[in-house]
Structure 1
Amino acid sequence: MSGVEGSAVRAARDVQVAFSRLRRRWRDVSDIRGLTPSQASVLTVLGKDGPASASALAAKEGVRPQSMAATLAVLDTQGLIRRDPDPDDGRRQVVSLTGAGRAWHEGNRVAREEWLVQALHERLTEDERRTVIAAMALLERAARP
C-alpha cells in the first residue's frame, strides 16, 4: 500500500489477529448446542437488536433470503425463535427469540464476558488494562464512518 505508513499496516494486522483470537476464544466458551456459526449469529443479532423480518436478517447477515429461510427453519424447529405476523404488513413475519432463545443469548453473553474479565484480570496489570481501555476508544474512533 503506497502512501500508508508502516505503523498503520502493522496496527491493522495486529488488530485483525487479536480480534480473530478473541472470536475463537469466545466460541470456545459459548454453548453452541450444535448450532452453525450462521445460526448462532442470527440468535445473537435477534438478542442484541430485537425482532426483525427475515429479509432484514438476511440483509444484516449478508446472505440470500433462501439461506436465511433455511437458518430460521432450524432455529424454529429447535424452539429458539418464533414468528409472528408483522403488525404493519400481514404478508410478512417478524422473527423474535423465544424464552429458550433469550436464555441461550444471555447465557452466551455472560459466559464470554466472564471469560474476558477473568483473562484481563489474571493476565494484565492495572496499567495494561487502562491501555486496553484507551486503545478501544481509539479503535472505536477509527471505525466511525
Structure 2
Amino acid sequence: MTELDAPARADELASLARVVREGVGRLNWRMRTEADAPAPGPTVLAVLSRLYRGGTHTPGELAEAERIHPQSLTRVLASLTSRELITRAPDPSDGRRSLLDITAAGRAVLREYSVQRERWLASAMDRTLSPTEQQLLRLASELLVRVAEA
C-alpha cells in the first residue's frame, strides 16, 4: 500500500467500523426486546459471564477485565452476593482480597437469559438467511470475537 492509499484505507475502515457497530448494536437491542423476561442489567451479565467463562476472579481482576470502575462494581457484587448468584470467599494467599465465583443459581440465570436470546436469533436466522449466508455469518462472528478480544 502506498502513502496515497492510506487515507482511503482509513476511510474504508471507518466506514466498516460504523456498519459493524450499527449492525451489532441493532441486533443486541432486538435480542433484548425479544426476551420473555426482563433482562439482568449489562453489568450483571458481564460479571456473571466473566465468572462463568474465566472462573474465580478477585474484584480487582474482574473490574479490570470488564473495564468497570471498582466503585460501580462494588454495588453489583453486593447485589449478586445477596441474591446468591455469586460467592465471595477470602483469598487464602492474601487475606485482604476476596475471591468471587459464580454459583449454580448464577449459571442458571445466565443460561436462561442466553437460551431465550439464542432461540429468537436461531429462528430469525433460519427465516432470513440462506445456508451460505449462515456460513458467512459464522465466519463473521468468529472474526468479531477476535476483534473484541484484541
Per-residue deviation at 1:140? 5.5
CA gap of 1:72–1:111, structure 2 versus 1, over 3 A, is same
Deviation string 1:42-91 (CA, Å, 9 cap, x unpaired) is 11221222221111111122223222111101111222111112232222
Percent identity over the alignment is: 34
Q: Report if aligned partners of 1:32, 1:40 keep a CA contact under 8 Å in 2.
A: no
In the TM superposition, residue 114 of structure 1 has moved relative to its aligned partner by: 2.1
Match of 2:52 among 33, 47, 51: 47
Kindly report structure 1 stretches of 4+ aligned residues shifted beyond 6 Å.
none
Q: Which of 95, 99, 108 in structure 2 is aligned with 1:103?
A: 108
Q: How far apart, CA to CA, are the structure 2 residues paired with 1:121 and 1:40?
A: 26
- What letter is aligned with 2:119? E
In structure 2, the CA distance between the partners of 1:31 and 1:70, relative to structure 1 (3 Å rule), is farther
User: Relative to 1, partners in 2 of residues 1:31 and 1:72: Cα closer, same or farther, differing over 3 Å?
Assistant: farther
Which range moved further: 33-42 or 97-106? 33-42
Residue in 1 aligned with 2:78? 73
| Unpaired runs of at least 5, structure 2 | 1-5
Once the two structures are superposed, the pairs formed by residues 22-33 of structure 1 within 5 Å of their partners are 22-30=27-35
Which letter does structure 1 place at the counterpart of 2:107?
A: R
Residue in structure 2 matched with residue 89 of structure 1 by the alignment:
94
Compared CA separation, residues 46 and 144, structure 1 to 2 (3 A): closer
Tell me, what secondary structure is at the counterpart of 1:52?
coil
User: 1:5 offset after TM fit, Å?
Assistant: 5.5
